[in-house]
Every structure is written in C-alpha cells, then in structure tokens.
Structure 1
Amino acid sequence: MSGQEEDSMEYVGDALSDDSVPFGEGVSGQGSVYMSDEEEDIFYVPERRPSLDLDSGTRPMETTDRYDVERARSPVHSYNSVISDGFYQCDEMDDDSDLPVTRVQLVRTESSSSFSSMDSDESEPKTKKTRCAEHKPEVPAALLRPELVKNPDEKRHPGLNVNFTVKAITKTLKKLGQEDLRTFNTMLWKRYPESFGAPPKSIDLVDLVDKLLERYDLEVALQITMDRLKHMDLKRLADYLTDLCKRNEVRYELRQTLLGKYGSVYEGCLTEGEPKPLDRVFNELFISDGGNAGPNIQHEVRKIDKLSTHRKKNIIACGQIFDLDTVEVKHLRSIVTNGIAGAGKSMAVQKFIVDWAEEREHQHIYFLFPLPFKELNAMLNQKFSLIQVIHTLYPETKVLPTFECDEGRVMFVCDGLDEYQKPLDFHRTETWCDSTEATDMHVLVTNLIKGNLLPSSLLWITSRPLTSSRLPPESVHQVLEVRGFTDEQKESYFRRRFEDPAQANKVIAHLTSCKTLHIMCHLPMFCWVVCGQFQRTFQEKGPDTALPKGITLMYTRLLLVHLRVRDSRCESKRSADDVRDFLMKLGKLAFTMLEKNETVIGKATWKGAGLDVAEAVTKSGLCIEFLIEQFVMYQERIQSFIHPTIQEYLAALYVFLTWRSTGKNLLEQARKLFGKEPDLLAVHRCAIETSLQSPEGNLDVFLRFLLGMSLNANQELLCKHFLPNKNTCPSFSEETAGIIKKKIKENHHPDRNGNLQCCLDELGFE
C-alpha cells in the first residue's frame, strides 16, 4: 500500500473512531432513505469518467488542479470530522446562506463512490479536491451557530428543569401545522446533521424533543427551537416560547417567596420564640361544607340547648379545597371559609399555600397570590391597579404585564376579610373591570369579589362569620367552615408537639381526665396555650412531675392572646384603660346572662351593655354571630360567646376585677349570711354558697374560675394587663380550701361534691 493510501486509510479510521452520531440508516447501509429532489441535489455525486483527450494538440487535463465538487457520501464518515472540516457551512444550506464560506478537503479512497483523477492513468498520485476556490481561515462550527454557544459563566435559572423544557418545547411545536412541523424537522436536520443523523422519515414530535434534550443542554435546546422558528418567519410562536420560559421563572421565584413567607410559623398568632417549619406544626383540621354551624356547646356541667340548625355536612380535608375535580365539576370560582377566632382558618390557608409552593398539591393553579387584608390595609390611601398590587407585594412578577395564561388558573387567597378596615358596599361601588387601571382599594376588593376583575381567576376568602355574611350570595359559590379539631385530631396534635412519647401520653391522659380542658382543645389556639403551659412545667419540674389540674391560668393566657390579636387589627393601639373598660362591659354582660342561664345575646342586651356587636364579635374574637332557620324561608342572626366556658370565665373576671378596683362584692346578697371576714375570703365564701344554690350547677365552672384568679400566677397576669395597681393581694387559698372541704364533709349537696373537688384542684389542694 502506498504512503498516500495509508494516509487515506488513517483518515477514514479517524472518522470511524469518532464518538459522534452516525448519519443515519441510509448512510450506514442499514436502509434506504427517502430524499426530495432538492436533497438529492445537495448530495449529488458525479459519475466517474475516463480522462478525455479532446484534442491531440492540447495537453491532458491537469490532475493537480483543484475543483469545486460536492462531497462524496461515504459509509464510514463521522459528523464530528465533518463539522471540523466546515461541512454544511457552504452553499448547500439554502436556508443558511448567510454563513461564512469555509473550505473542505476531501481525500480520495479506493471506493466505488470516491472521485478519481480525470486522467486515465490510475497510477498517478491521488490529489485532493477543494470545495471552495477561495481560501478563508476556518472558524469553529459552534461560533458560526451562536444558538449553540452557552456562556460558561452564566448560571442556569433554577426554575429551568427537564420537565418544564420538555413541556414548553412540545407545547410550542404542537401549535405548528403538519406541513410546518415537517419543514421544522427538515431544517433542524440540515442545520444540525451531527446531532439528528438521518433525514426525517416521519413527524414524531416526542422523538424530536427527546433528541434535542439528549444532544444539547436545556438552554441550548430552547434557543435552537426559537432560532428555527424565527427562521421560518414564526416570530410570534418563538415569542410564545420565550413567554413560557419567562412565566416559568417568575413562577419559581414566586414559590420561593411564598415558602420564605409561609413555610414557617409562630404558633398561637404570636411572634414569640423561634419559628417552626409548618409541616412540624400543622395538624389536619375539622372542615365542613356549610357555614352556619354555630358555636361548640359541649359543656362539662351545664345542659345547653342547641344554638344552631346545623345539619350534618361533608367533611373536607385541607387538600380538597379547590381541587381540580371540584373546580371543574361544580364550576367553582369563589369559596368563603368561616370560623371563629382560633379555629385554624389562617393555618389552613398557610398549609394550602405551602403545599402549592412545594408542588405537592393544586398544580392546576399556575399563579397563586396571597392578598392578606392586613397588607391591603396599608394601601388604602393610594390608588392602585390590581396588577400594581400584585407587583407591589410580589416584586418578582414585575416582568409580566399580565398573569392570565393557558398553562393554568390564577388564584387569589384573601385571608382575614374581617380585618379589612374599609367598609365594603357591593351595591353602590362602581363596576371596575380593568386590572391595569388604578383606582381605590375598596373598588378593587369589591370588584374582585364580584368577579368583575380577572373573572377566570379563583378566589378564596377567609373570615369570621359576621363579616362574610355581608357578601353578596351570587358571588359566593361555596361556604366552608373551619371548626378546629376533632377528638382524634386533638390527640394527633399533642403527639406531634411532644416528641417524647411518654410526655405525650401523660399530657393526653391528663386532658382526658379534665373534661373542660379536653372540650376546649377543639380550638387549635387553646391547644397551643395548653402545650406552652405543660412544656414549661416539664422544663421547670422535670418530666416526672404531675401536671397542674387548674384551668384558670389556661383561659387567662387564651384571653391575652385574643386581646393581642384584637390590637393587631386596630389602626392604633388601644390603651390599657380602653381594654379594661371593654372587658368590664363584656364581663358584666356575661355575668348578667349567666345568672339568668342565658346563652344567646339579644339586640337589646347589646345596647344595655353599651357594646358594639362588631367590636365584640369581629375584633375581640370572644363572641360569634351565626344564622339559624326559624322557618323554611326565614333566617335569624344570633350572637353568643364562642363557648359557654368563655362566658363563665369573663363573668368571673368581671367579679374579681370589680372587687380589686372598688372593693365591691357583687355577690353581696349572700354575704349578709356571714360575719365580718377579709374581703377576698368573703367573696369566695359568697361564691361557693351561691354556686351550691344555683339550679343544675350553672355557676359551678364560674366558681372554679373565680377561685383560680386569686392564685399568684393568675393575679400577676391580670394585674399587669388590667389593673392600675400592679400589686397582688393575699389569695386566702388555704382558708378557702378549708371552707370547701367542710362543705364536702357535710355532704348537703352530694351532686356538687365533684365540682367542689375540682375547686380544690384549682387552688392546688388535694
């Protein structure tokens, strides 16, 4: 073999050893490939002809000259070697004629498809043919195709992943007609033969996208698709793909913002201590379909008539709210969720948001925008458009002029309608349909609720019942109610909070033995108070200590939480005198009703107490309003305390604070039976006697609270927040315990001995 032949074989061997993708079945000899006339012209190979001596007087054709020829198709060449020679960079690519001209040198081999010298003398040395006469410096292929160039210093956006890229490219190319898709395939093959191999035999969109992502990085695959679409004069479709990518980036950044804002929680609506991950704290809630259930009336002693006409409703898990099937089948747009203070409404909202942000639930919602009314209050004095409100609360969305898209629904979560400081008038407020035009905030809120703004969006509103009942019925498609915890959910909550199983078992057994505490633990906020109290007990006295049996301190802490939440809802902080005045009026109302064994607060009662319904029901969270059906077509609004024990606690607080402030004993009628005693002890003795004389034990739990308020731990909290004189007074707990033990021993009221024993527990005596 001659030296030139060895060089030629070495060239072929290099091509065979290359790792690039083969040209396809037709090239490899595994099958025939259909080509159009145009494609056949591209790869046309002239037949071999013998050297011609056209004239005896002329010299033979020089074999050393270079000619422009088409490259021979060889069964063994590789696309990496082709690209390095600059193949496909010349005039055969009619759709890329603007590319620079480069030179390709072909080495002849002893192949039936190779070119030989035009001379008949086969023994002459093989010559190399150059494709282009003009010699220009070779340029790397990637630089000649800028869409393939990836900046190594540029970091990939974390929202760009394989799943999105597949969906985005597929969704874009599906908008092409069959003919356009065939053209796109052909252009892709011609432009990037080293990656796509054989010419396209069929229109297989899935295979096409797979090959793109197998051969190229995600950014490059997207850029190639945009580049080819623009080359086909389909700029709008290329822009559509660009918008898909932009919305995906905004969606990812929005998810991160929401996780940062809602992913952790301070329990009990207080910003104390360290925030905890929501998943460690959240417990499933009792959510029912229907919003007029009324308060929980379970009671340890009293028999209370049913306060509502609530019928048994479906139980709904938090993840089922706005699920895809419900939205599509029932054609829901807006859901209103009611619940008393501390029932867990905001926690349900937070769980919903975090599940969406972590892509666990509700992926049919493309953009989720929480619009808490507490934050909207800060915008009341300015004019905003709905889009501007979103851009203000979520700056990462500023790159998008609109949020409606065909990838999914837009959803707004408006938590705490009762916190909104502007009255909503759904009859006189002007209609507003332009989400880009600025107006007053109450106009935006009203029209968003009515469905005039972004009517295709979903809307979830949470509120206390009094406020949500003012919404127009035609704008509310479903009403849900968060009712706190069931008994099973209570146990689950405490096992989650106490990681030591022994402590959890001890707490659950203790709560089960104390019926009033167990009943009140239907409120998640109260559960948080109980957990905090018991955790302090374990830390201070050790894990083997007995848990305190008193209930008064728990209710005092619950009251302080409610008052702190109430202050956060007011534009300006209330003074201690205002808070004390409010509690004294509400406590007097509770005490008067308790003496009459009443639970429903009438309109005349409110006026007589000098209280505003909205102040007591909406802001304080200590009362509730609900509807009852008196007749088939008639409903009546009813107000009561959120639980009968709250009424009893406030009544006891009123008696105790009155004595501390004025020295007056409100139970003085019973006091005439006894001689001169220290004031507080006289109050206790009167309360014990009055409780024993009350029918059916209506004042039994009231008595426990009144006695518990005299203990130092309670007095310190009450004096600190509600009394100008911060000093505590003697509790007379031993003397009071002696009176109670004597009553038990006398056994004049055997049916009340159980409650008297609970009073001893409240005072810390066996």
Structure 2
Amino acid sequence: MLLEDNIITFVKNELKKIQKVLSPDYSECSESQREDDEERSSREAFVKITLNFLRRMKQQQLADRLQSKLPASVCHRNLKSTLKKKFQCVFEGIAKAGNPTLLNQLYTDLYITEEGTAEVNDEHEVRQIETASRKRDRPETRIRQEDIFKASPGRDEPIRTVLTKGVAGIGKTVLTQKYTLDWAEDKANQDIQFIFPFTFRELNVLKEEKFSLVELVHHFFTETKEAGICSFEDFQVVFIFDGLDECRIPLDFNNTTILTDPRKSTSVDVLLINLIRGKLLPSARLWITTRPAAANQIPSKCFGMVTEVRGFTAPQKEEYFRKRFRDEEQASRIISHIKTSRSFHIMCHIPVFCWITATVLEDVLETREGGQLPKTLTEMYIHFLVVQAKVKKVKYDGGAETDPHWSPESRKMMESLGKLAFDQLQKGNLIFYESDLTECGIDIRAASVYSGVFTQIFKEERGLYQDKVFCFIHLSVQEFLAALHVHLTFISSGLNLLEEQQTTSQKSETRESAEKLFYQSAVNKALQSPNGHLDLFLRFLLGLSLQTSKTLLRGLLTDTGSSSQTNQETVQYIKKKLSENLSFEKSINLFHCLNELNDRSLVEEIQLYMRSGSLSTRNLSHAQWSALLFILMSSRKDLDVFEQQKYSSEEVLLRLLPVVNASNKSLVEPAGVRWLRPGLRKYSCHLKINTNTVNRYLKLSDNNRKVTHVEEVQSYPDHPDRFNYFYQLLCKNGLTGRCYWEVEWKETVEISVSYRKIRRKGDAFDCVFGWNDHSWSLICSEDGPLYVMHNNRLTSIYSSSSSSSSSSVSNRVAVYVDCPAGTLSFYRVSSDTLIHLHTFNTTFTQTLYPGFGFNPGCLVCLC
C-alpha cells in the first residue's frame, strides 16, 4: 500500500535524523538544510510522538537530551543569552561609554500596585507624584515585578494583557528590563518559553512597512528565524511593548479589520491592534507600559489588569543612595539633606531624579568641601547643568577644572536645546524625531554632537535601520531648559514667549515694570492650566529670576538677574493669588513657587500660630488656609488620624479634605460623610422653583419638581419677576461655592444659569437665556445636547454628545458650578458616569440662579 510505504519511509528517515542528533559529536550548526512549512510541521509532530514513546519506555534521560537538541530549545537558550547581554548592564540617565552598571547591582524594588481602571490622567506628572507620595503607607495590593501576570486572590480568570502606568522617569523601562533579565538568568518565570521585548520607539520606524507577526518577531529576534520557528501557538510567549506614550503609530480600534493569521503580512498598526485585542495569537501574554496621559489609546476592555508604578518609597530612596554612595557618612548627609526639602523628597520618588540629585551632590561634596548644598529645585537643576558643562570642558575640550565652563559654542548649544525644549513642551512631546529638530532649526549633525557632549541632558538613541530618536532624560529637565530659554529670551530681548501674541517690552517701560509684568503673566498662565502642565515650569522660571541663579550660571547668563524689588513684587502677587479661592493643587504649587523665591513668610506665620496655640480655624484668610494645608501636607510624618469633630463647620471640613485624603484613618461624623463621596455629586443641591418667575404657559406638578409647557394659560398672579413672553423660569436657589444638580428633559429645552438681573418683560431677545452676557445655556433636543450659548454666541457640541450616545445614556444632564473658580460645566449622565459636554470659564460677578427655557410640548424634571 502506497500510503503505508510512505509513512514507513518517513519514520525511518526521521529516526535516522534523531539518532544523528543524539550522537555525542553532533553540532547544532552542522545542518543548514531548508524545509518548507509542511515538512517542518510533520517533523515537529513526529518528534513529539518520539518523545512520548521514550518517556513511556522510561528513557527520561534520552528524552531530555532530544528535547534540548530541538530547534525551539536551541532558540530558547540563544534568545536568553542575547537578552542577558542586552539587559545585564544599565546606564543611569544615558550611557556613559565604558561606565556601565550591573542592573542587578543597582536595581531597587519599585512600588507597584494594582489599579482599578486604565482611565487617562492628564494632570502634570509632578502633581501625580505628589499625590502618590501621600499614599505611601496605605494598605494596598503590592505586586512584585516577577508576578506581573499572576491574578490577585479571588480572581479565577487568567490575565492575558497587563497595562502598567507610571510618570516619566519612574522606572517602567528598567522594570521590564529586570523582568526580562530575571527570566534570561533562570531566576523567575521559567514556565515561559520566549519573551520578546519591543519598544514603541523601535516600532515607530516601521509604521510604513508591512510584516506578518512571525516576520516581525524574526526581524527583531533573529534567533527565532535561525531556528526556523514559524509558529508560536504551541509556546508560552510574552510580548513586552514599552512606552505607549511614545507611539506614533495610529491605533484605531474601531475601524481596523480582524486578523487571526500570524503568517499574513499587514501594517504594523493592524498587527498591534489584533495582538492586543486577542484576535492574533490569543495564547500569548502582553505587557504594555505607558505614562498615564496616554493610557486611553487602548480601550480599557482590552486589559486583564492595570497596574501603577509608584516609584520609590521612603525606605527605597534611602536604599538607592546607600547603594550609590558607599561612604556611609556621605550617604547619610545626602539623605538628611533630601529630607529637609519637601520638593526634593517628593521628586526623589522618581528614580531618575534620585540619579540627578546624586550626580549634583556628589560633585558639590567633592569639589567644594563643606560647601552649601542646593536648597531649591532650581538650584539643583542649575548645578546639574553646570556639572555637564564642566564635563564637556574638561573631557571633550581638554580644559582644566578651573577654566570657565561656558564657551560661545556651549552657550549656542544650550540656546538650541532650550528652544527645542520649550517648543516641544508646548506641543506636549517628550520624544523628538529628525523632523521635530529640523522644525526648531537644529541640524541633525549638530544634534548628534549635542547628545555626544551633553550626554546626561539630551540623548540620542538608535532604532532599527539606525534611525535616530532624541529626548531629554526626564520631563523635568526639559521643563527646566524650557524655562531657561524663556528667561534668556526675555532678559536679552524683552520678548515674552508666554504671550499668545508675543510682545516685546516697550522702550517707555522701565526694566522693573517689564519684569514685573513678565513674571505676573507667567503666574497667570500657569494658573489657567486646568491640569497643572506649567506648574514645574513656573517654579523654574521664578527660581531663575534670583541673583543666586545668576551667580551659579555665570558665563551663560550675560545680564543681571531681576532686581530684589521685582522679586518682592512677584512674591506679593503670588500671595494675592493665594488669597483667592484656588484649588488645593494650584495653591500648593504657588507655595512651592514662594520657596523657589526664598520666601517662607506665610508658612512661618502659621507655624508661629500653631506653636503658640492661638491658631483659630474660624478666622483664617484663604492664603492662611492654604499655608496650613501646605504645612500639614508637607509634614514628613505620616498623617495618622483626622477627626472631624475637632472642626466645627462644613466649610472647614471642605477646606481640609486634602488632609482627610492623605490621612491613614478618618473619624467622620455621619453628617460629614457626603462630603467624602467621590466625584461631583457631593456638591448636590436641592433646587426649588421660584413660582413668581414661571411663565403662564408652564405648568407645575409633582410638588413643583416637574414643569411642562402647555397650551392653556395657568392662573398665576401678576408679579414683576414673572417672564411674561418667553417660556422661562428661574429657581429660588442663589448659588454660592460649588453646586451640582441633575435634570431630565423631553423635546427641546434650555438648561441655564443666570444673574437675577435678566429682563422678564417684553419679547426682545436679551430676555432669553444665553442671548446676553449675564446668562449661560445648554440647548437640548430629543437627539441629545446640541449647543451651548452665552452672550448671543452659539457653540455646537453635537459631536461630543452624539459620540457618547447609546442605550445607556438617558435624557438627563448634570450641571456643576464652581463659583469662586469661575467654571460652569455641563455633563450628560450615563448610568453612574458623567460625560463631559462643555465648560465655560469666566469670572462670576453676581449671584447665579438656575433657570430653564421651554419650547412647545417640552418638559423638565428636577432630579
């Protein structure tokens, strides 16, 4: 029988090959024969059968030897060897030629916790660091890096895809490298056959190319191609994708075709999307890292678990510096100095900042014995810049330690880097490509020189095909250089780069008045940012205005610093801003700004009250409240217990909510519980309709909680406050502080707030909500919210509201007013979720009242 003959021939040939493989003198490189997919598949199946028979025959040793000779096993060993060489050494900041550090020697465990969601957080990362630093000793689920795919207790389903969030410089990349190195060194996760670590920087270069998944793996990891592995379904594989925030490949999860064949060529974005979805190679596990602001590029439903890297705890900070400085006395002095500065202690939460701090303090202690250590963030970063200039002068230019650090060439270099830092900061970019540098007027060859000289500030990396990628070593370094650029530009030319319409100070202006306006405009610009993106930039800009900064940057700055009078006026302006009802985060940053300006008078005033026992919580100004919060939140001791009963009013409790949040335990009276609810609903107010304002074609029902437009005139008495022509009404509630309410509607209505002075009589349009400068309206129809209107200006919001439309979205909207902050926000309500529609930012000069406008057949219900 032909089939039988073919099978017997195949078996005999394969057994001869196996016998050859098992011979002592067999070399893995001796065979280079080519075979197609069918031959390879048949051979692999036969080897599995052979291994099974050998083990049934109790020939375990022989089976193990055969297993080790298989292409997959050879590939496994070779890949481990390659990854071990790649990741066993790490360069802090950026590679110093010939000066690597063993990763295992330097690595300090990071604080990793499980997060609930992959929601985006676009707050400035320094704000996020401060928030994380206050969560330190709460009972949370900590995760070891080697257990990143292990499900938490009580969770049955296996975890396929993990998202790890963390601010820039927190250690996400080193974390993935340590995970890979431990596997390559046989220390952990030996159930995994292959780990394939990618970075989005490398993948960006391939966004115009076409690959199959197998070809992509072969392209990056040649060991797999050499072994002829074209199927990964039978192996336990982990893909690591590091740096989602740096991804420049469009990831459209809504309109990408499904791909299930790992051998079919397509674009890289289609491969990534289907791999993440689980359509492609569903047996593989994926680990993706990102900064928080980019987390929403991938739908949250794609993740089995979301984790967050919080950086170093207080003990881990000490461990890092004791590893870095072997001299015990030197390490103790540095640790003690860091603890004296709230800013330093917070920033050392980030491993990269620990390295910057160590670099600076090591230089200061070695070159200026007994010299004063930097006390502010600005001083720290100036020292860091000077250290790099000194390295360039001595190492690259052959100068002496005592020579001036700054030459015309290095000054030009810093001007170019500063311009790049500022331009890209405004665009929100951390990673720059050749095109970005060209836009800033930087020649690509010059950029290579910069990265070769200022190696610790600006770094160049090479991806596939030797494409160059540039970045600053950390966002804070970019912000410092951006502030330095704005500062240098202003003092040299009078040009204020922070103004949207850039202006140069007039000749008629004195230098002092121009400086005063410059720094005040910077404070205003930072306060206008809803997420604090200019917080750290502002600290640096103000710190650079001091004469001490001018002294430290002697040779780079050619002009004097701001006068002491200007600095004092800036201090007073910041104190004036603190007297306004700012958010907690903005107030805290302004105190950090005062620290950069060496002014601690407000804090010292409150500390004096506290020491004397005369602190009266009833009579504090806004600025003093902010100072008290700053002191409590800056305490290096844990906030253990917060007792509400010690504070006599809701206002006091609301002011101290940040302290409640940072405390390990809060003793709250039942009446105060609602103020601790998450989100906006804690500001809910019970609206009451002012019946004296209701138009006679509006009918009240359900205890005045429902209003319907009707055709019959209602018998309401005459009243000067009644709307006599337009179908409108106002509520009794005068809004103060923060207020929130929800309403349901039918047909077309206007949901509004207005000053009391709106006209009630006549048919002129200035009687209508939104058609004047003293009322604001959201216009809704059966299709959902359509427009917002103020001062006769109509703005469409249909795209944002319609994109959220689904069966779960009701005809209910929410309104939130923060009167002191001057914000009015509208939301659409979907189950328990609020979908933002629009926010007005203004200054409310009078008391606001909720109001409603109707079209025929419409109704509104107060919820």
The structure that is strand-richer by fraction is 2
User: Which fold has the larger relative contact order, with Cα–Cα distance below 8 Å and residues 6 or more apart in sequence?
Assistant: 1
TM score, norm. by length of structure 2: 0.45
Q: Which has the larger radius of gyration?
A: 1
